[in-house]
């Protein structure tokens, strides 16, 4: 059997697959690989933008770069807080949307809306809402008597990060809500009925049935959002540009500034590499956890 049908089928398969693979390699694999290479040279205004081999200099510079550590801290804070808030709120919204009420379809559509809108435009919307002089948020709080004078939400280093997080939560919670809603809908109603016959309260059902069965979706959504939040760019860039005084500067903003403003390509590449590695480790850890969870589930299933 030299050229069997199976071989032909395989050949066809590779033909179908190759364009997509090439494009993915070009746009995803090459830039990352290239960054690894670039991170070993110094290429900036000091070298007149010519690459000069520098070994691991960029990395040792990074270790002492306070601004880098600050941005890492900001990124982690932003990521952790926004993902947790989004998961909680998303779960709440999913639970609401899973109830039966009139014109539920329309409400679901409206709830999906924020997810679809361009982040950069939404960022301007929130900038306007949180404007210190004319912003509606200050106006509402003043009218309710919760504050006496307008707060400079985006200009105050204590508040800026929280403001950005609020905008991010608004924009991406619908995505999580949708995934969790799909998960909720896949839980067979018999389970709740059986549990209710056993005398369980709603709260017990939620705790004993809904949460455990939803856990895989929660983790998947969380993982997905974690990776995206870690690379947040549009929102912060447009809302604060990293300010005030670096209070909201995330790693991605620092990378962008290093490359586009300071034209420090070698160091920018090193920043890319380190971010990539951190993210990869986190994702690997999460995937491993997910796989473990699934394995445990699979064993527990027949009971």
Partner 1 sequence: MTLVQKDAPLDVVPPRRWGLAVAVGLLLIFSLAPILWQVLTSLKTNADIAAVPNVYFPRQLTLEHYIELFRRRPFLRYMLNSAFVASVSTLLCLLIGTPAAYALARLRLPGERFILAGVLIVTLFPYILLFLGLLELVRTFGLANTYLALIVPYTAMNLPLTILVMRSFFQQLPRDLEDSAKIDGYNTGQMLWQILLPLTLPALVTTGILAFIAAWNEFIFALTFITRESMKTVPVAVAQLSGTAVFEIPYGALAAATVVGTLPLVILVLLFQRRIVQGLTAGAVKG
Partner 2 sequence: MAKLELRNLNKTYTPRVVPLKELSLNVENGEFLTLLGPSGCGKSTTLRLIAGLEQPTRGEVRIGDRNVTHQPPGQRNIAMVFQSYALYPHMTVYENIASGLKLRRMASAEIQQRIGEVSQFLGLGELMQRKPGQLSGGQRQRVALARALVRRPDVFLLDEPLSNLDALLREQVRAELKQIFAAQPTPVVYVTHDQTEAMTLSTRVAVLNDGFLQQLDSPKRIYVRPANRFVASFIGSPQMNLLHLKCEGGFAQLGRCKLPLPSQVTVPPEVIFGIRPEHVRLVRPEDQQVLQGRVVLVENLGMSDLLTVQVEGTQGTLLRALLPPDQSWSGKQISLALPPEALHWFDVQTGDRLPDALP
Min separation Cβ 29 and partner 2, Å = 32
Rank residues 93 and 303 by Cβ distance to partner 1 and give the closer one: 93
Between 247 and 252, CB nearer to partner 1 = 252
Question: Is 5 one of the binding residues for partner 2 (CB under 8 A)?
Answer: yes
Instruction: Give the nearest distance from C-beta 302 to partner 2 in angstroms.
Output: 22
Tokens matching residue 82 = 């926004």
Q: In this chain, which of 6, 143, 261, 303 binds partner 2, going by CB under 8 A? A: 6
Asked if residue 116 binds partner 2 (CB under 8 A), the reply is no
Report whether 234 contacts 119 (CB < 8 A).
yes
Stretch that binds partner 2, among 3-11, 62-70, 85-93, 195-203 (CB under 8 A): 3-11
- DSSP β-bridge partners for residue 42: 52
SS3 sequence of 37-71: HHCCEECCHHHCCCCEECCCHHHHHHHCCHHHHHH
Does 16 help bind partner 2 (rule: CB under 8 A)?
A: no
- 8 near partner 2, rule: CB under 8 A: yes
Residues in binding contact with partner 2, number by CB under 8 A: 6
Nearer to partner 1, 13 or 55 (CB): 13
Using the rule CB under 8 A, is 4 a contact of partner 2? yes
Q: Does 1 bind partner 2 (CB under 8 A)?
A: yes
- Where b means 16+ CB within 10 Å and e means fewer, 20-45 reads eeeeeeeeeeeeeeebeebbbbbbbe
- Write the CB contacts of 130 (distance below 8 Å, at least 6 apart in sequence): 137, 138, 153, 154, 163
Q: Measure CA 4 to chain center.
A: 47
57 binds, among partner 2, partner 1, none (CB under 5 to 8 A by kind): none
For partner 2, the closer CB: 2 or 149: 2
125: Cα within 13 Å, side-chain hemisphere: 12
Task: Please check whether residue 181 is in contact with residue 269, taking contact to mean a CB–CB distance below 8 angstroms.
Answer: no
Task: Give the footprint of partner 2 on this chain (CB under 8 A).
Answer: 1, 3-6, 8
């Amino acid at each position: 059997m030299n050229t069997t049908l199976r071989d032909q089928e395989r050949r066809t398969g590779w033909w179908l697959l190759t364009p997509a693979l090439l494009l993915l390699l070009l746009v995803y694999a090459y830039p990352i690989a290239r960054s690894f290479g670039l991170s070993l040279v110094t290429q900036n205004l000091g070298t007149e933008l010519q690459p000069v081999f520098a070994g691991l200099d960029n990395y040792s510079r990074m270790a002492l770069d306070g601004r880098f550590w600050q941005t890492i801290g900001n990124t982690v804070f932003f990521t952790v807080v926004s993902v947790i808030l989004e998961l909680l709120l998303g779960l709440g919204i999913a639970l609401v949307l899973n109830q039966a009420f009139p014109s539920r379809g329309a409400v679901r559509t409206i709830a999906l809306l924020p997810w679809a809108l361009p982040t950069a435009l939404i960022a301007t919307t929130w900038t306007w809402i949180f404007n210190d002089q004319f912003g509606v948020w200050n106006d509402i709080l003043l009218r309710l008597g919760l504050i006496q004078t307008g707060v400079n939400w985006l200009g105050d280093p204590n508040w800026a990060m929280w403001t950005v997080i609020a905008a991010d939560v608004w924009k991406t919670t619908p995505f999580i809500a949708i995934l969790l809603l799909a998960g909720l809908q896949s839980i067979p109603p018999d389970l709740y009925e059986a549990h209710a016959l056993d005398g369980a309260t709603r709260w017990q059902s939620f705790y004993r049935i809904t949460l455990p069965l939803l856990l895989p979706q929660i983790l998947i959504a969380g993982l997905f959002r974690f990776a995206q939040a870690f690379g947040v760019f549009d929102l912060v860039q447009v809302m604060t540009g990293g300010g005030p005084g670096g209070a909201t500067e995330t790693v991605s903003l620092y990378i962008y500034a290093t490359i586009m403003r300071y034209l420090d390509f070698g160091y920018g590449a090193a920043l890319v590499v380190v971010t990539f590695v951190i993210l990869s480790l986190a994702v690997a850890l999460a995937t491993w956890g997910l796989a473990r969870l699934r394995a445990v589930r699979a064993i527990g299933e027949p009971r």
